[in-house]
Amino acid sequence: MTIHGNVHGEGSSKKNGLKIGNKLKVITAKTSLMALGVTFELCAKYVPEMKNEISDWEDGRNVGIGVLPTGPYITVRKDGEKFTYLGSGLQDAEISILFKNLDSAMMIFLGQLGAADAVAENRVCVQGQNYMAMQVTRAMAIVQTYLFPGFILRNTFKRPPKLNGQQIATKAKIMGLLTPKLIGASFK
């Protein structure tokens, strides 16, 4: 049997519901990725663990993160001691961490699944060298530590980070700077 035309019927709430659901996922993914990109910048500036982690990365490394098959994507670039959020798209990324679909991406962005479990469940595909993927994963863990509240970290990390007083203050600073940075980044 072949079904022609609009399966759900013109103007049906189910069809519109599907569309709205998907649109919301795309908006959430775009916002989450932007927040990730901006927090990479902030962590490189204010978080000693991040400075240490990227100290032996080569300058000019572009890191792509995004959602297959059609995005959204972002790229961050490492130069010296800093990360620069380059904006949307995969811009000559040497290493890309890509979610296979929006549903998989949502699980991470909404704190339902940790990075290791996302990899274990084959929800992620890596383009690039293995050792770079591991370095980026560790950097992303630092970003998530300063982006997510504690209860999400306890559910999604194999060994939830325990922040000392200094680190908690840094996290508060990053949270305070995030919104204005996001507004600026939305124009990239």
Q: Which of 15, 46, 91, 126 binds other proteins (CB under 8 A)?
A: 126
Q: Which of 17, 101, 121, 169 binds other proteins (CB under 8 A)?
A: 121
Tokens 């993160």 appear where? 65
- 134 lies in the binding site for other proteins (CB under 8 A): yes
- 117 lies in the binding site for other proteins (CB under 8 A): yes
Site string for other proteins, 135-164 (x = CB under 8 A): x-x-------------------xxx-----
Length of the chain: 188
Distances (CA, A) of 169 to 74, 121, 149, 165: 28, 34, 14, 6
Q: Quickly list DSSP for 97-141.
A: EEESSHHHHHHHHTTSS-HHHHHHTT-EEEES-HHHHHHHHHHHH
- 110 lies in the binding site for other proteins (CB under 8 A): no
Torsion of CA 127, 125, 70, 179, to 10 degrees: -90
Tokens 């204010």 appear where? 46
- 92 lies in the binding site for other proteins (CB under 8 A): no
The Cα–Cα gap between 123 and 126 comes to 10
Shortest spacing between CB 51 and other proteins, in angstroms: 16
Q: Which of 101, 127, 179, 186 binds other proteins (CB under 8 A)?
A: 127
Terminal CA-to-CA distance of the chain, rounded, Å?
48
Q: Which stretch binds other proteins (CB under 8 A): 40-48, 59-67, 121-129, 180-188?
A: 121-129
Shortest spacing between CB 76 and other proteins, in angstroms: 18
Q: Which residues pair with 73 in a beta bridge?
A: 66
- 131 lies in the binding site for other proteins (CB under 8 A): yes
* Interface with other proteins (CB under 8 A): 116-117, 119-122, 125-131, 133-135, 137, 157-159
